[in-house]
Amino acid sequence: MRHHLQRHLAVSLTIAAAALAFATGTSPARADGVSAYDGVYSGAAAPAMAISGCGQRETDIIIHVKNGQAWTHHHRLSGQVDATGNLSMQDGSGTVQITGQIAANNLTASETAPEKPKKLGAAYNNNGTICSYTISASRG
């Protein structure tokens, strides 16, 4: 009986610690642009949109930028933002496909890729093709 109570207490404390970590935002499952977890965005700021492109109505990709990492709604991109706001993103082969500049909390850039591109960051559009995009972003 005593062993059962000790085990129950240990489980309760583990659950309480996990709940506290989640409440304080230290859970590794949060993809808020700060953590290294590549999952669905759950930060406090307005979430970014999923990538979209050729053949679809929406050709804007909203990117959330925090600590030099660029995120869409679902994916951390393989792009980096340096201290002066320069943005560079690569496709799956490491070829730079997007360059831009973040200034006054906004980034405007354009990207042109082949009709059958390799993986761009961590996301494809729905058609598996990427045409031209206008990208806007804000610092997190």
Q: Is the residue at 74 inside a domain?
A: yes
Beta bridge partners of 103: 106
70/108 same-domain check: yes
Host domain of residue 110 = 60-139
Q: Which residue has the higher pLDDT, 90 or 37?
A: 90
80/134 same-domain check: yes
Q: Is the pTM of this model over 0.75?
A: no
As a whole number, mean pLDDT of residues 132-139 equals: 38
Q: Is the residue at 96 inside a domain?
A: yes
State the amino acid at position 107 in one-letter form.
L
22/84 same-domain check: no
- Supply the Cα-derived Rg of the chain in whole angstroms: 19
Q: Is the residue at 17 inside a domain?
A: yes
66/126 same-domain check: yes
Q: Is the residue at 79 inside a domain?
A: yes
Q: Is the residue at 38 inside a domain?
A: no
Q: Mean pLDDT, the chain, as a whole number?
A: 40
64/23 same-domain check: no
Confirm if 87 and 102 have CB atoms less than 8 A apart: yes
CB under 8 A, 24+ apart: contacts of 9-16: none
List pLDDT tens digits, range 64-106. Answer: 444 444 554 444 444 455 555 555 554 445 454 445 543 333 3
pLDDT value for 37: 28
Count the domains in the chain.
Answer: 2
